[in-house]
């Protein structure tokens, strides 16, 4: 619970911002020189950022699928008229 209060909320983070922070987080972890607690906190943040990015991508895919389905429905309706 304490980590949640320290972490920035992800709700307002756009995909690009979250991805940039995730890349920076991975780079910090790969560079090493961190304490175990610092590494764990970064890993947890990275996991949250990755999940946030995936949710954004899933949402974008759903919107694209809906737009394609709507276009196909309209095109299908024109063919029968």
Q: Does 6 score more than 60 pLDDT?
A: no
By the 8 A CB rule, do 25 and 49 touch?
Answer: yes
State the pLDDT confidence band at 11, using cuts at 50, 70 and 90.
confident
Looking at residue 2, its pLDDT comes to 44
């Amino acid at each position: 619970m304490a980590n949640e209060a320290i972490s920035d909320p992800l709700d307002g983070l756009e995909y690009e911002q979250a991805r940039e922070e995730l890349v920076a987080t991975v780079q910090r972890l790969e560079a090493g020189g961190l304490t175990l607690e610092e590494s764990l906190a970064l890993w947890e943040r990275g996991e949250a950022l990755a999940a946030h990015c995936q949710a954004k991508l899933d949402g974008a895919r759903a919107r694209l699928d809906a737009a394609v389905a709507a276009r196909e429905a309209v095109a299908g309706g024109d063919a029968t008229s």
